[in-house]
């Protein structure tokens, strides 16, 4: 997911239709000899890819024979599995939902989550208040049911937008952080992390927060102690002056997507952790100088330090000049027990250290736990974890060995339509001491470098990877405008891909724990009416249904795929707000998409999460009123606290836009889209 967009004034970027660039999109992978674009081009034909179109044979391979059916024929032959009237596309100050459904705000930034929390006052914020209030930029949403109509809502808070959070401050990363104070930094830190809160359905069928629950709490980088499990726990590279044991850390940062385990614990994915680290040492161009760091190659591969925030000016642990090992404590999957506020969260190092977009879980056909996780950076990799043992009632518990005893794999996509999962195991292949990997701990800490050594396939920003039924998995590849024409391949087919695509994997034998399978492209995103875009959809997809930049995904109770989008500041390229789409994966309508929900201007849609067997859908809208507001007709400027493009969802004078979690239900009750 995008974090903080910066405007690029370089005319070369403008000529490439890239007038913006997210900080987290700067590629750090130097091994680009055989990217996913190269693989796709060889599989389906480079000439057709560069022309922005596919031949009959390639289109049939991608979509089946339905791609060749005329629209009226397809309509007669098949009906959508999603029963709702499609929402018209657009972009305005509020959110919209398909007819026959409600989308009501459940939690907003600053809302109290405990009975003793103060009411939200944007003019008088404090760290103490924020620690008892709902955090900022809600991303992943999970739910652990306690009983029918009651459960624990688990929400990530990815990052903060100080320009619309605090009066008179503006974008600090563009102003040398001159307006920052320790108190503002502490509020930012208190607004990061996660929220665990008990919610219940009332007699009216509406969900609400139970403020009296002793389980309600915030998890933050300001004050939440965590421990480590797995091969890197206690390693010298995790030891710091405040933790000489290398077994503890305060907090978690840039928590993007995540997952829920089969036993009901909450997995928080640490994504763009590199952006929070600081150095006072700059080169002649004003960029961080890490040449004197003993692990400079590792830092460079991870983009450390990013200097997005001023935390390192007030906390030594975020300054690599003083604590060079602290970045090695971030970039993991964090497990939280939502039912027990006294349980110390655990960072599971066996799952690898990289910019985890998510941690979507499933139980394989052979009973083992499988977790899919993408490394959300241009030209980085798709990973999969497979536990050694099968999931049982005895080991399906918080802190389970299923999250530390197993094998982490990285994917290689082949020209012939097969995919191999390559084990990241010390002593196998090039992962030896001679190549800098002295133990499994080094592989856990430098997972990117280990995947480089194995020759994994560089991808177009792999974000969410959603396991589906019968050994399928759906990979969201958001975009990659830095891919050159000579870098396209079978699985990343378009140069300067501004709109992204979705890959379907079918694991061998329908078993998610398999080490090989096949792959195909489900859709290539963007406007199908513009030939140069090279989009590919089922021909029945309407002008409302196509989208750009797939990000998160969910499988509902009926095994159907739903996609949320994150276009960042680039939504002006489509004219559409971000939203939620229902995407067909089977039969004659495979590749057909319908719009169900759309965000207010500047907002990104996160979640989505289905509960109650598909009768409740949780959605999260983060950073409303911020991204791309210069393209919002009638506003056409950057938002500030005093002058935002929207005041969603309150629409009250003096109230800034507030990231919020919504609950979607069918009017009159029942399963969504059925």
- Which of 163, 217, 155, 169 lies closest to 4 in space, CA to CA? 163
Q: How confident is the model at residue 290 (pLDDT cuts 50, 70, 90)?
A: very high
Cα-based angle 609, 210, 660 (whole degrees, multiple of 5): 45
Lowest mean pLDDT of 41-45, 195-199, 516-520, 566-570, name the range.
41-45
Structure tokens at 164: 């619309």
The values of phi and psi at residue 312, to 5°, are -70, -10
Angle between helices 56-63 and 36-44 (to 10 degrees): 120
**Per-residue model confidence (pLDDT) at position 147:** 97
pLDDT of residue 40: 81
**Is the predicted pLDDT of residue 139 greater than 60, yes or no?**
yes
How confident is the model at residue 495, as a pLDDT? 87
Residue ranges in 506-654 assigned as alpha helix (H): none
| H/E stretch holding 422 | strand 418-423
CB proximity list for 394: less than 8 A, separation 6 or greater: none
CA distance 106 to 326: 36
Angle at 537 (CA atoms; ends 534, 538), nearest 5 degrees: 145
d(CA 509, CA 103) in angstroms, rounded, equals 39
Cis peptide before 305 (omega within 30 of 0): yes
**pLDDT value of residue 581:** 98
What does the pLDDT average to over 370-391?
97
Q: What is the mean pLDDT of residues 129-153?
A: 98
Tell me the pLDDT band of 43, cut-offs 50, 70 and 90: confident
- Say what the pLDDT of residue 74 is: 44
In the predicted model, is pLDDT for residue 16 greater than 60? Answer: no
How far is Cα 445 from Cα 449, in angstroms, rounded to an integer?
9
pTM listed for this prediction: 0.93
* Residues in a beta bridge with 288: 282
Write the DSSP symbol of residue 117. P
Rounded Cα gap, residues 219 and 140, in angstroms: 14
Q: Provide the pLDDT for residue 33.
A: 78
Contact call for residues 380 and 400 (beta carbons, < 8 A): no
Q: What is the pLDDT of residue 69?
A: 38
pLDDT of residue 34: 85
Mean pLDDT of 286-312: 97
Residues in the chain: 674
Residue 489's pLDDT is 81
Q: Within 13 Å of residue 612, how many CA atoms lie on the same side as its CB? A: 23
What residues pair up with 487 in beta bridges, in sequence order? none
The three state secondary structure string of 292-351 is: CCCCHHHHHHHCCCCCCCCHHHCCHHHECCCCCCHHHHCCCEEEECCCCCCCCCEEEHHH
Q: In angstroms, rounded to a whole number, what is the distance separating the alpha carbons of residues 219 and 224?
A: 6
pLDDT higher than threshold 50 for residue 319: yes
Which pLDDT belongs to residue 25?
Answer: 63
Q: What is the pLDDT of residue 492?
A: 81
CA distance 238 to 250: 13
Distance of CA 507 to the CA centre of its chain: 23
Among the listed residues 269, 265, 270, 583, the one whose alpha carbon sits nearest the alpha carbon of residue 398: 265
Banded model confidence at residue 19, pLDDT cuts 50, 70, 90 = very low
Q: What is the largest CA-CA distance in the chain?
A: 69
Residue 37 has pLDDT above 70, yes or no: yes
- Both tokens of 64, joined, read 């089946």
The 3-state DSSP class for residue 87 equals: coil
The average confidence (pLDDT) of the chain is: 92
Query: Could you tell me the pLDDT band of residue 383, with boundaries at 50, 70 and 90?
Result: very high
Strands (E) in 432-532, as ranges, are 459-460, 462-467, 472-477, 501-507, 516-524
Residue 75 has pLDDT above 90, yes or no: no
Q: Do residues 139 and 256 touch, judged by C-beta distance below 8 A? A: yes
Q: In the predicted model, is pLDDT for residue 305 greater than 60?
A: yes
pLDDT at 62: 45
For the chain, the C-alpha Rg in angstroms (whole number) is 23
pLDDT digits (tens, 9 = 90+) for 630-640: 999 999 999 99
Does residue 491 carry a pLDDT above 60? yes
As a dihedral over the C-alpha atoms of residue 260, residue 460, residue 255, residue 419, rounded to 10 degrees, the angle is 30
Q: How far apart are the first and last CA of the chain?
A: 30
Question: 320: closest CA among 484, 632, 330?
Answer: 330
Q: Work out the percent of the chain whose per-residue pLDDT is above 90.
A: 85
pLDDT at 295 over 50: yes
- What was the pLDDT predicted at 45? 64
Which residue reads 């604590």 in tokens?
323
């Amino acid at each position: 997911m995008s974090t903080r967009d910066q405007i690029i004034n370089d005319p070369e970027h403008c000529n490439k239709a890239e007038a913006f660039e997210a900080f987290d999109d700067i590629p750090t992978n130097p091994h680009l000899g055989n990217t996913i674009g190269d693989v796709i081009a060889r599989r389906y034909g480079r000439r057709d890819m560069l022309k922005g179109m596919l031949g009959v044979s390639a289109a049939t391979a991608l979509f089946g024979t339905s791609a060749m059916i005329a629209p009226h024929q397809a309509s007669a032959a098949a009906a959508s599995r999603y029963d709702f009237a499609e929402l018209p596309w657009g972009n305005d100050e509020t959110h919209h939902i398909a007819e026959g459904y409600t989308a009501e705000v459940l939690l907003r930034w600053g809302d109290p989550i405990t009975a003793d929390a103060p009411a939200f006052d944007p003019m008088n914020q404090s760290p103490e208040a924020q620690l008892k209030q709902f955090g900022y930029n809600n991303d992943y949403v999970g739910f652990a049911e306690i009983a029918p109509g009651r459960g624990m809502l688990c929400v990530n808070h990815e990052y903060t937008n100080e320009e619309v959070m605090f009066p008179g401050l503006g974008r600090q990363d563009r102003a040398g952080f001159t307006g920052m104070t320790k108190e503002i930094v502490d509020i930012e830190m208190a607004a990061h992390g996660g929220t665990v809160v008990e919610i219940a359905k009332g007699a009216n069928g509406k969900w609400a927060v139970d403020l009296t629950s002793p389980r309600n709490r915030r998890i933050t980088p300001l004050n939440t102690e965590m421990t480590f499990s797995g091969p890197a726990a206690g390693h010298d590279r995790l030891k710091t002056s405040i933790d000489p044991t290398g077994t503890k850390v305060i907090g978690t940062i840039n928590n993007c997507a995540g997952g829920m385990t089969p036993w009901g614990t909450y997995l928080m994915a640490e994504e763009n952790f590199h952006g929070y680290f600081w150095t006072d040492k700059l080169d002649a161009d004003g960029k961080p100088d890490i040449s004197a760091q003993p692990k400079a190659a590792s830092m460079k591969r991870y983009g450390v330090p990013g200097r997005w925030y001023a935390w390192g000016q007030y906390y030594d642990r975020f300054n690599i000049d003083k604590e060079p090992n602290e970045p090695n404590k971030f970039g993991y999957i964090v497990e939280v027990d939502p039912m027990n506020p006294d349980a110390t969260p655990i960072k599971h190092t066996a799952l690898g250290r990289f910019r985890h977009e998510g941690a979507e879980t499933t139980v394989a056909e052979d009973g083992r736990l499988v977790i899919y996780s993408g490394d959300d950076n241009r030209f980085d990799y798709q990973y999969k974890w497979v536990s050694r043992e099968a999931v049982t009632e005895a080991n399906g518990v918080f802190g389970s060995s299923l999250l530390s005893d197993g094998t982490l794999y990285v994917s290689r996509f082949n020209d012939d339509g097969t995919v191999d999962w390559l084990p990241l195991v010390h002593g196998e292949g090039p992962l030896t001491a001679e190549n800098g990997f002295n133990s499994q701990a080094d592989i856990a800490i430098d997972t990117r470098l280990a995947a480089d050594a194995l020759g994994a396939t560089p991808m177009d920003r792999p974000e969410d990877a959603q396991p589906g039924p019968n050994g399928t998995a759906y990979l969201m590849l958001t975009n990659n405008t830095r891919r050159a024409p000579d870098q396209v391949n079978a699985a990343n087919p378009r140069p300067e891909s501004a709109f992204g695509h979705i890959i379907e994997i079918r694991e061998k034998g329908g078993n998610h724990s398999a080490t090989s399978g096949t792959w195909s492209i489900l859709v290539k995103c963007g406007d199908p009416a513009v030939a140069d875009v090279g989009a590919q959809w089922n021909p029945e997809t309407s002008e409302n249904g196509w989208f750009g930049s797939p990000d998160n995904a969910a499988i509902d109770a009926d095994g159907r795929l739903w996609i949320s989008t994150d276009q960042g500041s680039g939504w002006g390229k489509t004219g559409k707000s971000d939203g939620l789409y229902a995407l067909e994966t089977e039969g004659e309508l495979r590749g057909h998409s319908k719009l169900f929900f759309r965000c207010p201007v500047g907002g990104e849609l996160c979640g989505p999460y289905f509960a109650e067997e598909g009768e409740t859908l949780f959605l999260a809208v983060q950073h409303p009123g911020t991204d791309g507001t210069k393209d919002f007709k009638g506003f056409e400027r950057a938002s500030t606290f005093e002058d935002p493009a929207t005041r969603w969802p309150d629409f009250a004078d003096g109230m800034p836009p507030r990231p919020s979690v919504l609950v979607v239900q069918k009017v009159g009750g029942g399963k969504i889209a059925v």
